[in-house]
Amino acid sequence: MDKQSFEEALEKLEGIVKELESGELPLEEAVKKYEEGTKLAKHCHNLLENAEKALTKKMKNGGEIDFETPDEEDGE
């Protein structure tokens, strides 16, 4: 799973959600799908977190500074 792209993992997660929402899976299979979905969600979260860290830095005057997030711009 670690080598799955965000888009691949998200697509698979969306498929699992649809299956679970259908209510047609036997309980044991639903539990397995839920566990798989949880792992995929964590993987997606980690990928997004890493992307956010990479994007919150930019070069200015030969060094890195943090971008301001919308919350910081509002003074929160």
The pLDDT of residue 52 is 84
The pLDDT of residue 69 is 64
pTM for this structure?
A: 0.71
Residue 29 counted as domain residue:
yes
Residue 37 counted as domain residue:
yes
The pLDDT of residue 7 is 96
Pair 19, 25: CB distance under 8 Å:
yes
Number of domains comprising the chain: 1
Residue 22 counted as domain residue:
yes
- Statement: residue 1 has pLDDT above 90: no
Q: Which domain holds residue 28?
A: 6-73
The pLDDT of residue 58 is 47
Residue 1 counted as domain residue:
no
Alpha carbon distances (Å) from 21 to 15, 30, 38, 45, 57? 10, 10, 15, 22, 39
Residue 30 counted as domain residue:
yes
- pLDDT digit string, tens, across residues 3-62: 899 999 999 999 999 999 999 999 999 999 999 999 999 999 999 998 888 777 644 445
